[in-house]
Amino acid sequence: YKWYKSLLKEEKVDEAIRVLENIPEDQSVPKVKYALAKLHLTMTRPSPKTTRSTTPKWVKYFKCVTDQVPVAVLCKSYLVDHGLLNAEEDPLINLLNPETRIWLLAKQAEANRKYIDATEILSEFHTTNLRIVLELARLYHIAGDRQKALANFERAHSLNYSNASGMDIYASLLYAVFFILISFFH
């Protein structure tokens, strides 16, 4: 695993994948499978809904991790996000903490292109969790609600002013508002 990490630092992704894939199955812990899934996901850039007859390697690895660690939320999130797992049918959904459960249910709504439903799900939970606030802002942006998107990006920025995630969308929204104001006064 350390060899894989050093290869990644050198940007030798194909070699890093080979190193992890050559780890014997009995020594391949969930951390290794998760790393493989992330690498394959990055390499293949799947479509929002995977419809190929052969299952991509990243799906197999994420499913393997969730089989071994049923509460592996990030793995479930990727699968839900790509329409490969139904969060509402997950038997463990009610055992997760409220933020995690809401996150997965919102991801389920997003996978079904129900962006307003996803925002309603996330809005029910008043949180200072930066990831959830950013996700809410991003979903409002997709749903076309510029005001609420801006408000949530501002909230995220106030929670952690050094965070760069999602700030590209925030900047484009601020520019759009600025452009509208300039147009209005000219």
Determine contact, residues 140/153, Cβ cutoff 8 Å: no
pLDDT of res. 186: 63
Backbone angles phi, psi at 70, to 5 degrees: -55, -20
Cα atoms in the 13 Å half-sphere on the side-chain side of 186 = 6
Residue 165, pLDDT above cutoff 90: no
CA separation (Å) from 75 to 35, 49, 51, 103? 11, 16, 19, 13
Backbone angles phi, psi at 96, to 5 degrees: -75, 160
Cα separation, 117 vs 102, whole angstroms: 12
pLDDT of res. 45: 58
pTM for this predicted structure? 0.68
Q: Which alpha helices (H) appear in 112-166, and where do they start and end?
A: 115-123, 130-143, 146-159
Domains of the chain, each with CATH number or no CATH: 1-85 (1.25.40), 116-186 (1.25.40)
Q: Which residues contact 179 (CB under 8 A, 6 or more apart)?
A: none
pLDDT in tens, 9-22: 998 988 999 999 99
CA separation (Å) from 13 to 1, 4, 20, 43, 61? 13, 9, 11, 9, 17
The residue that leads in pLDDT, 179 or 7, is: 7
pLDDT in tens, 74-123: 888 888 888 888 888 887 777 778 888 888 899 999 989 999 999 999 99
- Sign of the four-CA dihedral 146, 151, 157, 159: negative
Which of 107, 97, 150, 147 shows the shortest CA–CA distance to 127? 97
Cα separation, 109 vs 131, whole angstroms: 17
pLDDT in tens, 37-76: 988 888 775 444 444 445 788 888 988 898 888 878 888 8
The residue that leads in pLDDT, 132 or 178, is: 132
pLDDT of res. 46: 47
Residue 170, pLDDT above cutoff 70: yes
pLDDT in tens, 129-138: 888 899 999 9
Tell me 93's DSSP state. G
pLDDT of res. 155: 92
pLDDT of res. 90: 80
